[in-house]
Amino acid sequence: MQKTALIAGASGLVGSQLLPLLLASERYNRVIAVGRRPLPIVHPKLEQRVVDFDQLEKHRLQLIADDVYCCLGTTMRQAGSREAFYRVDYLYVVALAALTAANFAAQLLVVSAMGADAKSRIYYNRVKGEMEEAVRQTPFRAIHFFRPALLLGPRPEKRTVEQLSAVVFRVLRPLLMGPLRNYRAIEAATVARAMLRAAQNADSGTQVHLSGAIAREGAERQE
């Protein structure tokens, strides 16, 4: 039986790579894209839901799916403040998880980050870790956290620091061996492929995919 996928954050770096994969997948006959504004995409499988994430509960009956892909996320610079960053990367993600779990979705796949740790002294990592801890409490059959290192791929906005970091990490890539593989920069498209691959497995419980494993999983799907 074909299923329904729900994707939040389809306009972002990973989400924009994942959406075409979901639409092309034989696993799904419906794909619900949830966002603050409509996407410039038309597809027979695609149903767009423009929502206010601060009032997500109002949209409960429109957000019924089997597999939920959460690609929501921002940066401190984009958000403009710690409070705004926390709203997107913690509150919106946790709210989506709680609502779709209550709608009996089977599994949730979330883009987190390398270094996610609720006890971290780094604010970004701490928020990601707190988000993971909260999401773990939701009653999905399976929860997958994807912790990519520096993400590579086309971005609509210019982010000079990340562009320079990407160059540095490409140069250092051959030196990052063994456990350090988890810190190699990774293509957003690879993360997207790994997410779909994980959804197709029959795993249950909570799975954490570190960046090195994501690179292998995403590459295997490409072959």
Q: What residues does each domain of the chain span?
A: 3-222
pLDDT in tens, 55-97: 999 999 999 999 999 999 998 888 899 999 999 999 999 999 9
How many angstroms separate the Cα of 165 from the Cα of each of 94, 151, 169, 178, 198?
Answer: 30, 10, 6, 21, 28
- 223 falls in which pLDDT band (50, 70, 90)? very low
146-202 pLDDT tens trace: 999 999 988 655 555 555 554 544 555 555 455 666 778 899 999 999 999 999 997
Q: What is the pTM of this model?
A: 0.89
Q: CATH topology for 3-222?
A: Rossmann fold (3.40.50)
